[in-house]
Structure 1
Amino acid sequence: MNQDTFLDQVAQRTRTSPQQAAELTRATLETLAERLTGGEVLDLAAQLPKPLQLILKPHPATEAADRFGAAEFVARVGRRAGVDENVARDAIRAVFTTLRGAIAGGEFDDVVVQLPRDYRGMVEPAMAPGATRH
């Protein structure tokens, strides 16, 4: 999947413009990069289009994930994208669903395993049968 297709799918799922979808995607991927281990970030990035790979940069100082819950994840995405938490939560679901369709299934499962139980509300829509179809 190329970057334009990825962003178009996020825009459709969030009912926003492609520009807003790009901003929401950037905010979500930057926050996800903080939450995953460095190795997992690199594995995920390797399956994405080059412009999106550049967003997923593991922090050079640590291989460990920054441990924060779903509420903090949503808050960080909201701050980064300049949107309220309801918009951020919907965007995160849209980006996760698009990610699942863009990468190998096993890789998405590897990402999900690193997220605690309180992320379920954001991840489960991406896991539903047919979620990635348009």
Structure 2
Amino acid sequence: MKRFLEGIQGHRSYAPMLLALIAERPAEVCGARWSPDVDLAAGTIAVGTNTRTIVYDRTQERGQRNKVVEKGAKTEAGKHTLPLPKPVLRALKAFRASQTAEKLAAGEAYEDSRYVLVDELGRP
């Protein structure tokens, strides 16, 4: 795992991958938002407040059967706040700075979705 992380350091998936390794489920990483979930100043992340998953819907026409479903935790016990280890916090700060630069470069084409895990145009 250490070699893998060293190999992807600097890639845009590095910070989200680190989030997945600190006990976040993939749907929680995909649903994490810069605000209100990630607090870079406090070094914490709220977990379980929002998840994003792709669901296959056979009732839809071909080519439109995958849809994104968002939801919160099933119970209040599923919501909690985790401290971000220093390497994860550093990676998230760098990732946020990269996204800010991408937003400036893309101009009006940038979709400000507020999600942590987005492509170069801000799309989740």
Whichever of the two has the greater Rg, that structure is: 2
Give 1 or 2: higher helix fraction: 1
- Give the TM-score normalised by the residue count of structure 1: 0.27
- Give the TM-score normalised by the residue count of structure 2: 0.29
